[in-house]
Amino acid sequence: MAVHDGHRERLKERFRSEGLDGFTEVQVLELLLFYSVPRKDTNEIAHALLEKFGTLAQVLDANPADLEKVPGMGSSSALFLKLLSAAGRRYQISRTESATILRTLEQCGAYLQPRFFGRKHEAVFLLCLDAKCKVLACKQVGEGSVNSAGVPIRRIVETALSANATMVVLAHNHPSGLALPSADDIQTTKRLAVALDTVEITLIDHLVFSDDDYVSMAQSGYYKPGESMCVL
């Protein structure tokens, strides 16, 4: 037990002084598991996790039930690892919350991107802005499987109206593919633009995200929005 204690303190001290940049993925997992596995050799568990799932990212994205099947992993450890990616997403969102004025599509993309961090299924978000480009709300309005996302047009219109929005940006992700709009994405965007126009709200753009990349349907020519007062 004393050997394990000394190793744990050395690894913790190394992180304090150097950060994680020099750590292997095994060492990162080993260090993380110190906080949910108090009395076992977490190096063996870390190796087993990477052997089963492949990479650190795949471990953190794994289903908790599958994580629990790895020897040495219990429900608390599985929940702890799942909490990390969820907390990372909330951290990124929190960092963007102060940017309440979004004057360009690039700023809108940067604001929305953290919402899709670590997601393995499609999700649809609506960013609501007033005439001065102030963020009024950013809400999830739909979700779907890895291959398709439901885009409930009525719900989107109601969300925009309840936020008293003048303009909106729609965004969804392609977790397992390229950040390119499908034919269904383009058709849905056009239908939504018409529905919003009837209540005098402009659909500025529809952004499609995949990992760290995204495509603007307006800038790429897939969709032509109406005039906007502040988005360039």
DSSP for 57-70, please give it.
HHHHHS-HHHHTTS
Pairing of strands 167-173, 202-210: parallel
CA distances from 99 to 95, 107, 231 (A): 8, 9, 15
| pTM of the shown model | 0.67
- Dist. CA 15–CA 227, nearest whole Å: 51
- Dist. CA 206–CA 214, nearest whole Å: 10
Reduce the DSSP state of residue 137 to 3 states and report it: strand
Reduce the DSSP state of residue 169 to 3 states and report it: strand
- Dist. CA 135–CA 127, nearest whole Å: 7
Report the pLDDT value the prediction gives residue 232, as an integer from 0 to 100. 43
The sheet that has 123-129: what strands, in order across it? 135-143, 123-129, 167-173, 202-210, 213-216
Please give the structure tokens belonging to residue 35: 């906080």
- Dist. CA 219–CA 91, nearest whole Å: 29
C-beta separation of 186 from 228 below 8 A: no
The one-digit pLDDT tens for each residue of the chain (232 residues) are 444 668 889 999 999 999 998 999 999 999 999 999 887 889 999 999 999 999 998 999 899 999 999 999 999 999 999 999 889 888 877 776 655 899 999 999 999 999 998 888 899 999 999 999 999 999 999 987 555 567 789 999 999 999 999 999 999 999 877 888 989 889 999 999 999 999 999 999 999 999 888 999 999 999 988 655 455 4
Please give the structure tokens belonging to residue 105: 């599509």
Report the pLDDT value the prediction gives residue 2, as an integer from 0 to 100. 46
Q: What angle do CA 101, 103, 109 make, to 5 degrees?
A: 90
